Amino acid sequence: MVPGDLRYTKDHEWIRVEGDEAVIGITQYAADQLGDIVFVELPDAGTGLAQHATFGVVESVKAVSDLFAPIGGEVTGTNDALAGTPEVVNSDPYGEGWMVRVRVADPAQVDGLLDAAAYEQLTAEG
Amino acid sequence: MPYGPHAADDRARMLDTIGIASVDALFEDIPEALRASPLRLDEPEPELYLAARLTGLAARNRVDLASFLGCGAYRHWSPPTVDQMLLRGEWFTAYTPYQPEVSQGTLQSIYEYQTMLAELTGLDVVSASHYDGGAATAEAALMTCRATRRERILVSRGVHPHYRQALATYTDGAGLEVKEIPLVEDGPLAGTTDLAALAALLADPDRPVAGVVVAQPNVLGLLEDMPEVGRLAHGAGALFVSVIEPVSLAVLAPPGEYGADIAAGEGQPLGIPLQFGGPYLGIVACTDALVRQIPGRLVGLTHDLDGKRAFVMTMRAREQDIRREKAASNICTNQALLALAASVYLATIGPHGLRDVAALGAARATELEAALAAAGAPRIHAGPYLNELVVRVPDARAVHARLLDRGVLAGIPTADLFPDEPSLADGLLVCATEVTTPAEIDLFASALRLELAGAAIGGGAR
Amino acid sequence: MSVVGERLQPTLFERSRPGRGGGKIPHPPAGALDRIPAGARRATPAALPELAEPEVIRHYTNLSQLNYAVDTGFYPLGSCTMKFNPRLNEWAARLPGFANLHPMAPDAVAQGTLQLLFELEQQLAEISGMDAVTLQPAAGAHGELTGILMVRAYHLSRGDTARTEVLVPDSSHGTNPATASMAGFRTITIPSAPDGGVDVEAFRSALGPQTAAIMITNPSTLGLFERRIGELLEATHEAGALAYMDGANLNAILGRFKPGEAGFDVMHFNTHKTFSTPHGGGGPGAGPVGVRSHLVPFLPAPRVVRAEGGGFRLETPGERPQTIGRMRSFVASTGVLVRAYAYIRAHGAAGLREVSDDAVLAANYLKVRVGEAYEIPFDQPCKHEFVASAARIKAATGVRTLDIAKRLIDKGYHPPTIYFPHTVEEGMLIEPTETESLETMDGFADALIEIAREAAEDPELVKGAPHDAPVRRLDEATAARQPNLRWRGMTGAQTPCPD
């Protein structure tokens, strides 16, 4: 079950809008596919993200995956705890395993993302 | 086929199991028009004759000369422990330790290598190995560009010209700019990197520098002011790459101590034979801060399911087989067996032995300097050196060639290394190590005296 | 954490005791280092281990015995060609004339080695149908970089600056796309067709005036000959691009297919695969590169050439102005190439063809045997290696290819290459080579079949493997999260060096 209050991308990122900011992470499905996550590379605060562009990298023991920005906007904060404990992305991807906060540039971009039902259908199809 | 295992009817049994009459059936998918013309090679040679042929070829190389040639590859005594250990099939017939459960020998030996080279360089992280000093230097320079996201590299002309050429080849493809830092032409600092020129190059705000690459000792054998290079580089936000020779690190300050971010160099002096250029051992070491930028394999310590200590290749997601076009480098096969050779060498001679190797080479070089000066070929630089030096010999190329006939390999003419440096037109770069004998030095000096006298009398003709 | 297992060894640093060792190097005269300024000197001695020679030998001998190697057993690591390493070649490389020759020695001093290198270039050119060969690259990936830099130089020399892309099949070695990036190109990945070959239509639509080169492994990493290679090469050249062949799998086609004749412009050889030079626990290898005539001007410098008046010499600086330059410090990994040369001479044309015939025969035989219990996704005859899949076993029992690989260790075999190419689910790439006997191959096939039965009857047995190796499965996640890449805190204090 994926959280119903989030929006998703087909690249397995999730996004939670909080006022004029949004929090971004990867889904449990993505974390499971990668396996034991050992490293997360995130942009510095102040970096401008373009929608769909890569903004970071997640590494597991034997795989690597780019992170794609679900929406555009400026990075206002990153989850620094992931540097020391990247494993929380596996254990709590929607909570402690969040990755970046961005200032939402265009709320309409959020509306274009998948809702929980659509994302679940996507992962069910494999 | 000399190494095939098949008994008389084995092939027939295999064909039968597959259900075909001839092995040709297995090649029918090669389009007819594209099938090979007949191979034209010599007849298979029985080992007896092949051994004789190889012995004959090897004998045509002249390795009996009194050699004073260094310049990036060095004669050293390698204790027999090294080569005899390398002949164990468990080492040399294994491959990359992809399956750690059956590769703990290779993995632990690499971890120990990483540790010993980290000690020598004073840095934290050492890659499992690179191809050689030139390729390692090129990879180190590329690291500085990735880490700083800048595209300009400054390399001293005191770095071996072959390394600079390899660096140019590597960076050309990547679209990076390389600028050479000149050497001081005269005075007490002659032959060392021109630090005023370096400061000026670093001061250009429109062309930020990623890395500054300087060798210690430099290719002319001279010692550089490395702490000052580090201060200048860091002051401009650039990284500092020190090109090292590992035996010298027994007596010279380690790169980590004088502010180098990366050390790169040639590990051949650690017990590896000269063998006309390879296989050698590329060393790349860096600070913890750069660990994610270092290319090549890394071995780490971990434990197994029962808590037993064990070793494994780690941080694998940096590498080409996982990251593909985004990998830090394309390196796959490395020089693991040569890293093993270096490890066995260091374990055998130990810290005091390594220091003795370096210091004895320096002592022999002092004797060489004195003997050559007495023969009429004084040093041309004033600055301190370790075990390699340049002496002034008029018409050095011709003298070098004639000394071969007298049984002396008189180093290398500096004009071959620096064809465009008038101040080095009449020099020989010569080297001594712990294997250089007083008798060889005498032979060189007396042969040189004769040549110089002959030149004085006969105007260079023989 | 620091439990050392029964068969495991303490590190050199735990074995070290101050004052051990010595007797190797004479002490230098006092004052030998006086001319080194204080600021340039090492203040504290390097904390290297101190051991006596008997301990050094025991340490490394015991460590060696924790390794699996071709000399100890069957090593069917697909794509790596783990064939027997002839001992004559080890002997030859150690002949003092070869071993003690300085790389900057004048040509007159190096005639034996120069002749050997020259002849080896000729032999490799004949084997590959190429016009010239450089021996400079130190490994296959180094050869790839050399080749693609030559492709770049070729296009630029024609004023063609628009070619920014390299096409690479999705089943390729990771070195191919990594090489393209290093040489400044963008990688375009081409999907595979259902038969395992390159999807020719997708390939055609990706080709264009922006394509610099294609990089094709042939036979492919699935062990299959690229049957439509003629079409691929023709389309490549029509688009003005060049064709690079990754020669990793040349062991399958010696005397049967010459890439240069077929239309490839450039390729690399892996001497440590095809020509039996030892793998060394990860290296050294050598990666000579062959080219057709239009790329000769761009070959790395220096080349070995015939000298006027007889003999051989290295090119002088500036002799070939269009060269891409130098790829490494010196001319080649000569010590490796002596071995390759000896191998080629020992075999001759007939022997090399037999090498490939036997390698392909062995792989097809083993494929039939392994097929008794595993899926074989491609029915075309394989070349020197084949892919089997445990997807069915995984679906039925939960046992994965990784588990099967680890269980093979218990049964005395080195696992094959697993999860490569990525295009096959639960794949294992099995390469027996021509130097393994029928009994060895049968033993391996029987072991795999038995593991399939174990997976059905007792899956936990397989999932917990290996049970009989020096260590069990490792915690690789912790190793990567908190890297410990060097030993700290050596046993015992350092003794000062006597001056």
Confidence class for position C2, pLDDT limits 50, 70, 90: very low
Q: How far is C397 from chain B (nearest CA, A)?
A: 22
Amino acid identity, position B131: Y
Render pLDDT for C25-75 as a digit per residue (tens, 0 to 9).
999 999 999 999 999 999 988 999 999 999 999 999 999 999 999 999 999
Return the percentage of chain C with pLDDT > 70, whole number. 97
| pLDDT tens sequence across C430-481 | 999 999 999 999 999 999 999 999 999 999 999 999 999 999 999 999 999 9
B144 Cβ contact list (under 8 Å, min separation 6): B150, B153, B210, B211, B238, B239, B241, B261, B262
- Helix axes of C111-128 and B47-59: crossing angle, nearest 10 degrees: 130
Residue to mutate among A36, A41, A88, A89, with most C CBs inside 10 A, is A36
Instruction: Name the minimum distance, in Å, from the CA of A95 to any CA of chain C.
Output: 20
Distance CA C207, CA C214 (A): 9
Please choose, from the candidates A53, A47, A50, A56, the residue with its C-alpha nearest in 3D space to the C-alpha of residue A98: A56
Amino acid at residue number B462: R
ipTM of the complex: 0.97
- Report how far Cα C355 is from the mean position of its chain's Cα atoms: 19
Q: Which chain B residues contact residue A63 at CB under 8 A?
A: 317, 322
The model's pLDDT over C94-111, given as tens digits with 9 standing for 90+, comes to: 999 999 999 999 999 999
| Distance (Å, whole) CA C187 – CA C175 | 12
> What value, to the nearest 5°, has the Cα angle with vertex B314 and ends B311 and B317?
160
Q: How far is C-alpha C305 from the geometric centre of its chain's CA atoms? A: 27
Nearest to C182 among B119, B173, B344 (CB): B173
Instruction: Please report the pLDDT score of residue B147 as a whole number.
Output: 96
Neighbours of B, requiring at least 3 CB pairs below 8 Å, are A, C
Query: A67: part of which helix (H) or strand (E)?
Result: strand A64-68
pLDDT of residue B174: 84
Q: What is the pLDDT of residue B13?
A: 97
Q: What HEC string does chain C produce? A: CCECCCCCCCCHHHHCCCCCCCCCCCCCCCCCCCCCCHHHECCCCCCCCCCCHHHHHHHHHHHHCCECCCCCCCCCECCCCCCCCCHHHHHHHCCHHHHCCCCCCCHHHEHHHHHHHHHHHHHHHHHHCCCEEECCCCCHHHHHHHHHHHHHHHHHHCCCCCCCEEEEECCCCCHHHHHHHHCCCEEEEECECCCCCECHHHHHHHCCCCEEEEEEECCCCCCCCCCCHHHHHHHHHHCCCEEEEEECCHHHCCCCCCHHHHCCCEEEECCCCCCCCCCCCCCCCCCCEEECHHHHHHCCCCCEEECCCCCEEECCCCCCCCCCCCCCCCCCCHHHHHHHHHHHHHHHHHHHHHHHHHHHHHHHHHHHHHCCCCECCCCCCCCCCEEEECHHHHHHHCCCHHHHHHHHHHCCCCCCEECCCCCCCCEEEECCCCCCCHHHHHHHHHHHHHHHHHHHHCHHHHHCCCCCCCCCCECHHHHHHCCCCCCCCCCCCCCCCCC
Question: B-chain residues within 8 Å CB-CB of A41?
Answer: 292
- Inspect the interface and report whether the beta carbons of C66 and B73 lie closer than 8 Å: no
Q: What is the pLDDT of residue A118?
A: 95
Encode chain B (462 residues) as per-residue pLDDT tens digits.
799 999 989 999 999 999 999 999 999 999 999 999 999 999 999 999 999 999 999 999 999 999 999 999 999 999 999 999 999 999 999 999 999 999 999 999 999 999 999 999 999 999 999 999 999 999 999 999 999 999 999 999 999 999 999 999 999 988 899 999 999 999 999 999 999 999 999 999 999 999 999 999 999 999 999 999 999 999 999 999 999 999 999 999 999 999 999 999 999 999 999 999 999 999 999 999 999 999 999 999 999 999 999 999 999 888 888 888 888 899 999 999 999 999 999 999 999 999 999 999 999 999 999 999 999 999 999 999 999 999 999 999 999 999 999 999 999 999 999 999 999 999 999 999 999 999 999 999 999 999 998 866 654 444
Q: Using CB atoms, which residue from C142, C227, C328 is nearest to B31?
A: C227
What is the rounded CA–CA span in Å between residue C136 and residue C302?
9
Predicted local confidence at residue B183, as pLDDT: 98
pLDDT in tens, B77-93: 999 999 999 999 999 99
Q: What pLDDT score was predicted for residue B462?
A: 41
Can you give the pLDDT at residue A1?
75
> Contact, B330 vs B340, CB < 8 A?
no
Q: Which residues of C fall within a CB distance of 8 Å from B312?
A: 474, 476, 479
CB atoms within 10 A of CB B247: 26
Give the best residue of B316, B318, B319, B326 to mutate against chain A (max A CB count within 10 A). B316
Residue B323 contacts A, CB cutoff 8 Å: yes
Instruction: Render pLDDT for C122-131 as a digit per residue (tens, 0 to 9).
Output: 999 999 999 9
* Cβ proximity of B195 and B203 under 8 Å: no
CA dihedral C154, C159, C162, C164 (to 10 degrees): 30
Interface A:B, Cβ pairs < 8 A: 19
* Measured distance CA(C399)–CA(B441) in Å, rounded: 69
Q: Is B13 on the interface with A (CB under 8 A)?
A: no
Q: Is the pLDDT of residue C4 over 70?
A: no
- Backbone CA torsion sign across C24, C29, C34, C35: negative
Please list the ranges in chain A whose pLDDT falls under 70. Answer: 126
Contacts of C497 in chain B (CB under 8 A): 351-352, 355
- In the three-class reduction of DSSP (H, G, I as helix; E, B as strand; rest coil), residue B160 is classed as coil
How far from the centroid of its chain's Cα atoms is residue C133's Cα?
A: 18
Q: What confidence tens digit (pLDDT) does each residue in C228-280 have?
A: 999 999 999 999 999 999 999 999 999 999 999 999 999 999 999 999 999 99
The answer, for A63 touching chain C at a CB cutoff of 8 Å, is: no
β-sheet bridge partners, residue C387: C429
Residues of chain A with Cβ-Cβ distance to B317 below 8 Å are 38-39, 59-64
| Closest Cβ–Cβ partner in B95, B101, B116 for C80 | B95
Interface test with A, best of C475, C481, C482, C484 (most A CBs within 10 A): C481
A-chain residues near B292 (CB < 8 A): 39, 41
d(CA C145, CA C474): 34
CA distances from C176 to C142, C191, C214 (A): 11, 15, 10
Quick one: which H or E segment has residue B301? strand B299-303
φ and ψ at residue C216, rounded to 5 degrees: -125, 135
Chain A / chain C CB contacts < 8 angstroms: 16
Q: What is the pLDDT of residue C3?
A: 52
- Give CA separation, C188 vs B325, B417, C185, C213, C286, in Å: 10, 41, 9, 10, 27
Predicted pLDDT at C421: 86
Half-sphere exposure of C490 (CA within 13 A, CB side): 24
The per-residue pLDDT for B173 is 83
Q: Based on the number of CB atoms within 10 Å of its own CB, is C23 exposed (0-12), middle (13-18) or buried (19 or more)?
A: exposed
pLDDT of residue C422: 85
Give me the sheet containing B239-244, strands edge to edge: B125-126, B282-286, B262-266, B239-244, B211-216, B152-156, B177-181
Contact B303 C1 (CB under 8 A): yes
Separation of alpha carbons B180 and C25, rounded Å: 39
Q: How confident is the model at residue C499 (pLDDT cuts 50, 70, 90)?
A: very low
Contact C347 B226 (CB under 8 A): no
Instruction: Check: CB of residue C147 under 8 Å from CB of residue C248.
Output: no
CA distance C470 to chain A (A): 22
Q: Which helix (H) or strand (E) holds B349?
A: helix B336-374
Q: Does B316 contact A61 at a Cβ distance shorter than 8 Å?
A: yes
